[in-house]
Structure 1
Amino acid sequence: MTEHRHSSHPEIVKRLRRAEGHLRSVVSMIEDGKPCLDVAQQLHAVEKAVAQAKRTLIHDHLDHCLEEAVGPLPRERRGSVDEFKEIAKYL
């Protein structure tokens, strides 16, 4: 498999490492018997961080890899590709 990197990858890694640290904190909170509301708030933050990292990765893939695979298309044939990229924002 060939190496596959984009300019957004370092930021995605940074975001995931931050989420990883928060997740470790959540585990500690549960082990320490912290209030459920506090734990739930921190879990929500972890979920959002991971979801944002995923969204960034998918959009970056669409912007670079899909464009590369499809190649240049005439404007009248780009509709499906553009629509797919737009609907992917809701992932």
Structure 2
Amino acid sequence: MSPPTSAHEHAHQSHDAIVKRLKRAEGHLRSIVAMIESGRACVDIAQQLHAVEKAVCQAKRTLIQDHIDHCLEHTVSALASGEQAPLEEFRQITKYL
């Protein structure tokens, strides 16, 4: 396993948009908890949960695609020099697709 890297090293252009989307989903999730606590209809709650789930899935997809787009070149050049750690990282992230 490769050593931990700095947060800045893996900062991609899409990360700000992903954080914004997740914060919106976080607020939405809080409102769903309030819906449950106030006794709202299950179908309304399920609909809102579905929306949050889709937002989180889209954030994950964007993160993984961005990582692949920006880190694939590094992985290929590292493999050419015999380094295996980037390939293992690539394998690890693709299991979340």
Tell me, yes or no, whether TM beats 0.5: yes
Distance (whole Å) between structure 2 residues aligned to residue 13 and residue 50 of structure 1: 10
Kindly report structure 1 stretches of 4+ aligned residues shifted beyond 4 Å: none
AA of the residue aligned to 1:70? V
**TM-superposed deviation, 1:70:** 1.1
Please give the per-residue CA displacement for 1:20-45, whole angstroms capped at 9, x wherever unaligned: 01100110000000000100000000
Distance (whole Å) between structure 1 residues aligned to residue 54 and residue 66 of structure 2: 18
* 2:15 equivalent to 1:22: no
Aligned residues: 76
Distance (whole Å) between structure 2 residues aligned to residue 67 and residue 20 of structure 1: 33
Residue number in structure 2 paired with 1:68 = 74
Residue number in structure 1 paired with 2:39 = 33
Structure 1 residues without counterparts, runs of 5 or longer = 72-87
Structure 2 residues without counterparts, runs of 5 or longer = 78-93
Distance (whole Å) between structure 2 residues aligned to residue 66 and residue 27 of structure 1: 40
AA of the residue aligned to 1:53? A
* 2:9 equivalent to 1:10: no
Distance (whole Å) between structure 2 residues aligned to residue 67 and residue 61 of structure 1: 11
Q: TM-score, structure 1 length as denominator?
A: 0.76
Q: TM-score, structure 2 length as denominator?
A: 0.71
RMSD of aligned Cα (Å): 2.0
AA of the residue aligned to 1:18? R
Q: Percent identity?
A: 70
